[in-house]
Amino acid sequence: TVEELEHSDRAIRLGIGNKIPPELMANAGILCAFLEKVRTLLGNFPLILNSGYRCPALNADTPGSSDTSAHTWCLAADFILPSSGAPYEIACAIRDSGIPFDQVIHEGTWVHASPISQQGQVRQQTLTARFLRGAGHPEYSLGLTNY
């Protein structure tokens, strides 16, 4: 739901309003429809969002996030589906499903997925993120790796 995309414990702690602006509501619909396809693929279990929409202020205060993050366009979600497997298994299932997507990233303890890019691309790009100590941003490699 839109409410789930807007919810952020971090935003609440920081006192940041994280409402999706009207001009991004169409993107919210695209993202919700995509996430529903993923949920159906994986057995209709509850999908737990860590991060959906991030307003610019929240994104700027989120460690490791990019200035060009699809989260700020309401076109990406970070999530887990504990009833359906580990994040690596979930990322592989999405990759292999035939569901169109722009990016699926195995981020260790969660999956980042976006249905389309800000430019409307559907690249079917898979990546694996590695979070190195002391590095401000993760390093990404092509493909999905279970580590």
pLDDT for 106-133, tens place per residue? 999 999 999 999 999 999 999 999 988 7
Q: What is the pLDDT of residue 131?
A: 85
Q: What is the pLDDT of residue 103?
A: 98
Backbone φ/ψ region at 35: left (φ over 0), alpha (ψ -120 to 50), beta? alpha
The rounded percent of the chain whose pLDDT value lies above 70 is 98
What's the rounded mean pLDDT across residues 53-59?
A: 96
CA distance 104 to 55: 21
| pLDDT of 137 over the 90 cut | no
Cα atoms in the Cβ-side hemisphere of radius 13 Å centred on 5? 29
The rounded percent of the chain whose pLDDT value lies above 90 is 86
Write the CA distances from 89 to 54, 93, 111, integer angstroms: 26, 6, 10
Structure tokens at 92: 């592989």
| pLDDT of 65 over the 90 cut | no
Which pTM was predicted?
A: 0.93
Burial class (CB in 10 A: 0-12, 13-18, 19+), 71: buried
